[in-house]
Amino acid sequence: MRFRTFTAAVVSGLALLAVVPGSASAAEGQFRYTYRTAEGYEASGYLNDPGSGRCINLRGVGSDALPPGYSPKNRTDRTATVFLHANCVGDEYFSLRPHTGGGSERLKVRSVLFS
In this prediction, residue 74 carries a pLDDT of 97
Neighbours of 26 (CB within 10 A): 15
- Give the span between the Cα atoms of 13 and 36, in whole angstroms: 54
Fold of 29-114: Gamma-B Crystallin; domain 1 (2.60.20)
Mean pLDDT of the chain: 84
Model confidence over 58-72: pLDDT tens digits?
A: 999 987 778 999 999
For the chain, give percent helix, strand, coil, nearest 5.
20, 40, 45
The answer to whether 110 touches 60, Cβ cutoff 8 Å, is no
In this prediction, residue 2 carries a pLDDT of 52
In this prediction, residue 7 carries a pLDDT of 45
3-class state of residue 76 by DSSP = strand
State which residues of the chain have pLDDT below 70: 1-24
Report domain extents, the chain: 29-114
Provide the CA 61 distance to its chain's centre, in angstroms.
16
Provide the CA 58 distance to its chain's centre, in angstroms.
11
